[in-house]
Copies of this chain bind each other. A is one copy, B any other.
Amino acid sequence: MSEKIALNVSEQVRRGQVLSADCPSRTVLRHVTSRWGVLVLIVLQDGTLRFSDLRRRIGGVSERMLAQTLQALEADGIVRRVSHPVVPPHVEYSLTDLGDEISVRVVALADWVEINLPRVLAAKAG
């Protein structure tokens, strides 16, 4: 997973440069690794959810922050928002294909942190 792949020049130009301050890849990385973005991707891996379900499953998120997070991920094409024209309004969120792919990486990271938390806490104490 960590192996470096030699890139030819056209690949280097085409792909993003996350270490460069003005590359748009950095904005996307910030959205998917944002405080609540990470948790939204984790929860949506289980399937389509309504706003209120998302909010209930993510401990501590405010309505405002969750709405902002979903908006940014929707604009990146990572989250799909479907609004059903009924009364009362019924809005559902799910991962797009892009979102599916990236959530796998985010979940791998979060899983590592959860599973290795005892080692991190031991390192803190030591």
Q: Which residue numbers of A lie inside 8 Å of B, CB to CB? A: 1-2, 14-25, 28-30, 32-35, 38-39, 42-43, 45, 57-60, 75-78, 96, 98, 101-110, 112-124, 126
Contacts of A59 in B (CB 8 A): 19-22
Distance from A12 Cβ to chain B, minimum over Cβ atoms (Å): 10
Distance from A109 Cβ to chain B, minimum over Cβ atoms (Å): 4
B102 touches A105 (CB 8 A): no
A123 touches B109 (CB 8 A): no
Which applies to chain A's interface (DSSP): helix, strand, loop or mixed? helix
Contacts of A16 in B (CB 8 A): 113-115, 117
Contacts of A2 in B (CB 8 A): 45, 103-104, 107-108
Partner of A33, one of B96, B107, B109: B109
B77 touches A120 (CB 8 A): yes
Contact sample, A vs B, 11 pairs, CB 8 Å cutoff: A1-B1, A15-B117, A16-B115, A20-B59, A21-B59, A21-B60, A25-B113, A28-B113, A29-B109, A76-B120, A76-B123
B38 touches A117 (CB 8 A): no
